Amino acid sequence: MSNLALAKAAHQPFWSSTLALALVAGACALLVGLTVALVLLRDARRAGVRERVGEFVSPPSAPDDASAAAGPRRGRLLAGMERSFERERWWEEFKEKLEIARVERPAIEVVYLTGGCSLAGAVLLFALTGSPIPGIAALILGPLIARALVNRLLRRQRILFAEQLPSHLQELAAAMRAGHSIVSGIALMVEGASEPTQGEFQRVIADEQLGMPLEDALGSVAVRMATQDMEQVSLVAELHHQTGGNMAEVLDRVADAVRERAELNRELRTLTTQARMSRWIVSSLPPLLLLIIYALNPRYLSPLLHTETGEILLFVAGTMVVTGSLAMGRIARIEV
């Protein structure tokens, strides 16, 4: 009897054994521990020249509680990773996206958390299924999901900025009618503005006081927030600088046009809600059905998960689902 038990234990797959479970649990615990230690010991981001000078020339802003509570140290490993990423072209763009999306954590922490969670998910899926395909899929989908979340937050901030812009332009026009210049009118408008408008126009004031032309400062906001309306404001500021004129009336007309465009965008989002919901429902049905079948009858999916042909078909199906989801999202996105 004991010989039979030993024979069964000898033929038992490694990833189904108690040792494999302990190793996977230890690896996941290590990743979670390192992540918690990183969150508790991270220090404040170094302020660049723009931020240091902007403290003296721009209107005071509320202190950042997250950065004030950050610890004074950063691991050498993360510092080295950040220095290596600074050589890449996409790194500055990624940090700017996180800043606009109002993600409080530094970019290197976002990269570390994404990599750690992707690796933990890959190890766990490999241990559960015994196949490398789900683990590879987790390593690929982890960064893609993080990128999609950042882009979603970024798009939300840009939509909020576009919705706030008409009322703030009318406030600027009223301030100019009261005798203020365009720069002092922007400063007056910023005092009562809410985010993200307040932060973006504070950058405009700081850039202008650092010597940048006002139209260029407004144009940089148009690029950061990806809005054509700020390009119109920048053009109006340039014309006012060159020829003068009644800029308050022009700003009122621009505000009316921006408001009409914002209403049209809201109506389009309402009309495309069904298409966007259909995208997520159709895209989530195949993996959800796969998980349900695996939980009810794992042997039913054995040819799909434990054969070379099944793994190839699973990879092709996943690629088709992701491609179809991206195509449906692009169709439902209408820009005005």
| 284 & 306 share domain | yes
Contact 125, 142 (CB under 8 A): no
Assigned domain for 48 exists: yes
Which pLDDT score, from 0 to 100, does residue 24 have?
55
Assigned domain for 5 exists: no
Which pLDDT score, from 0 to 100, does residue 23 have?
54
| 196 & 151 share domain | yes
> Is residue 294 very low, low, confident or very high in pLDDT (cuts 50, 70, 90)?
confident
29 to each of 34, 269, 307, how far by Cα in Å? 9, 42, 31
> Is residue 58 very low, low, confident or very high in pLDDT (cuts 50, 70, 90)?
very low
| 232 & 330 share domain | no
Q: For residues 218 and 234, give the distance between their C-alpha atoms in angstroms, rounded to a whole number.
A: 5
| 173 & 308 share domain | no
Contact 91, 107 (CB under 8 A): yes
Domain count, the chain: 2
Assigned domain for 2 exists: no
Phi, psi dihedral angles at 120 (to 5 degrees): -65, -40
Residue numbers of the domain that contains 282? 272-336
Which is nearest to 217 in space by CA: 198, 197, 196, 238? 238
Last residue of a domain, one of 209, 236, 261: 261
Assigned domain for 267 exists: no
Which pLDDT score, from 0 to 100, does residue 20 have?
53
| 211 & 320 share domain | no
Which pLDDT score, from 0 to 100, does residue 77 have?
60
Task: Please tell me which residue, 30 or 239, carries the higher pLDDT value.
Answer: 239
Assigned domain for 266 exists: no
Residue type, 315: F
Taking 80 as the threshold, does the pLDDT of residue 336 lie above it? no
Whether the pTM exceeds 0.75: the reply is: no
pLDDT in tens, 176-218: 888 888 888 888 888 888 888 888 888 888 888 888 888 888 8
* The most confident of 13-17, 24-28, 88-92, 153-157, by mean pLDDT: 153-157
Q: For residues 224 and 127, give the distance between their C-alpha atoms in angstroms, rounded to a whole number.
A: 43
- Please give the full DSSP string across 6-27, using - where no structure is assigned: HHHHHHS-GGGSHHHHHHHHHH
Last residue of a domain, one of 261, 289, 304: 261
Assigned domain for 6 exists: no
Q: For residues 152 and 144, give the distance between their C-alpha atoms in angstroms, rounded to a whole number.
A: 12
pLDDT in tens, 87-122: 777 788 888 888 888 888 888 888 888 888 888 888
Lowest mean pLDDT among 127-136, 173-182, 219-228, 243-252: 127-136
Which pLDDT score, from 0 to 100, does residue 70 have?
40
Which pLDDT score, from 0 to 100, does residue 44 have?
37
The tokens for 219 are: 């144009």
List b or e across 38-48, with b for residues whose CB sees 16 or more CB atoms inside 10 angstroms. beeebeebeee
Assigned domain for 168 exists: yes
Task: Region of 33 please: left (phi>0), alpha (psi -120 to 50) or beta.
Answer: alpha
Assigned domain for 39 exists: yes
Taking 50 as the threshold, does the pLDDT of residue 40 lie above it? no
> Is residue 66 very low, low, confident or very high in pLDDT (cuts 50, 70, 90)?
very low
| 224 & 76 share domain | yes
| 255 & 112 share domain | yes
Task: Region of 88 please: left (phi>0), alpha (psi -120 to 50) or beta.
Answer: beta
| 202 & 301 share domain | no
| 257 & 279 share domain | no
Q: For residues 256 and 266, give the distance between their C-alpha atoms in angstroms, rounded to a whole number.
A: 15
Contact 139, 119 (CB under 8 A): yes
| 277 & 257 share domain | no
**Mean residue pLDDT across the chain:** 75
Q: Looking at the chain, list the stretches that DSSP marks H as alpha helix, in order from N- to C-terminal side.
A: 2-11, 18-41, 49-57, 65-68, 76-85, 89-100, 107-129, 132-177, 182-191, 197-209, 214-225, 228-243, 247-271, 273-296, 302-305, 308-332
Lowest mean pLDDT among 40-49, 214-223, 260-269: 40-49
> Is residue 139 very low, low, confident or very high in pLDDT (cuts 50, 70, 90)?
confident
Which pLDDT score, from 0 to 100, does residue 76 have?
62
| 336 & 195 share domain | no
| 175 & 283 share domain | no
Last residue of a domain, one of 226, 261, 296: 261
Lowest mean pLDDT among 176-185, 237-246, 252-261, 279-288: 237-246
